[in-house]
Amino acid sequence: KAGVTQTPRYLIKTRGQQVTLSCSPISGHRSVSWYQQTPGQGLQFLFEYFSETQRNKGNFPGRFSGRQFSNSRSEMNVSTLELGDSALYLCASSLYRDSRFYTFGSGTRLTVV
Amino acid sequence: AQKITQTQPGMFVQEKEAVTLDCTYDTSDQSYGLFWYKQPSSGEMIFLIYQGSYDEQNATEGRYSLNFQKARKSANLVISASQLGDSAMYFCAMRGTQTGANNLFFGTGTRLTVIP
């Protein structure tokens, strides 16, 4: 079966711009979580969506937002990009709200210049 | 709050030898889960093994085993018979359950290099 698909794979943006990243979960999975990975801060939880509702949010500024659609696909948006937003953004899906059964995507590598 | 500590930034192991990657944790939750993930250069996180805090036996999955010492708050990963394909970053992670949160807290990782 198809895995978790994240698009685009790579992205270069300029400071001040905004960006939207997409995550298509495994078919049937209803929970989608997002993580940011940077060399300085490591892997940090951004937010979790289940049945189109945000269930949990990490400690990130309001510039980071997300949503989930009725087909469970999720997008995250970062507005007013800063250099420090350069990171690998990973998405994980699971059938229910249980991270024991996470399947991660390959991530979107965002570079802000 | 949960905290995961991985004190080995890098480790080297000879092919076919066993290696132990260290992980200590701190939490006030009574019920929690501990995970190990592998991250190759491609970027995706690959689940390796899970240990619940109430599991009486150490978890094993093929060549991976988790040495769980609850009193010491440690959850070390043991990889037996290392293979060249094991070269990657390894992350220890924890999920707390008391607050109902589902997210994982990750350590800083250990880069494992397998030498032929």
pLDDT, one tens digit per residue, over A69-87 is: 999 999 999 999 999 999 9
Residue of chain A whose alpha carbon sits nearest to that of B33: A100
Flag whether pLDDT at B74 surpasses 80.
yes
Report the share of chain B in percent with pLDDT over 70: 96
Q: Where are the beta strands (DSSP E) in A1-107?
A: 5-7, 10-13, 19-24, 31-38, 42-50, 53-57, 64-68, 74-78, 87-94, 103-104
Tokens for B39, please give them. 């991250």
In this prediction, residues B83-89 reach a mean pLDDT of 98
Contact across the interface for B106 and A55, Cβ inside 8 Å: no
In this prediction, residues A28-47 reach a mean pLDDT of 95
- Residue type at position B86: D
A42 touches chain B (CB under 8 A): yes
- Predicted confidence at residue B100, as pLDDT, reads 62
CA pair distance A21, A81, nearest whole angstrom = 13
- Predicted confidence at residue B99, as pLDDT, reads 62
Flag whether pLDDT at A103 surpasses 80.
yes
- Predicted confidence at residue B101, as pLDDT, reads 72
Flag whether pLDDT at A1 surpasses 70.
no
Q: How would residue A100 be classed by pLDDT, with cut points 50, 70 and 90?
A: confident
Among A19-28, A99-108, B84-93, which is the least confidently predicted range?
A: A99-108
In contact, A86 and A98? CB cutoff 8 Å: no
Instruction: Select from A45, A57, A1 the least CA-distant residue to A25.
Output: A1
- Predicted confidence at residue A96, as pLDDT, reads 85
- Predicted confidence at residue A97, as pLDDT, reads 84
Mutation site for B-interface testing, chosen from A102, A108, A109, A111 by largest number of B Cβ within 10 Å:
A102
CA pair distance B12, B84, nearest whole angstrom = 11
CA pair distance A103, B27, nearest whole angstrom = 25
Judged by phi (left if over 0) then psi (alpha if -120 to 50, else beta), residue A60 lies in beta
- Predicted confidence at residue B1, as pLDDT, reads 74
**CB atoms closer than 10 angstroms to residue B95:** 23
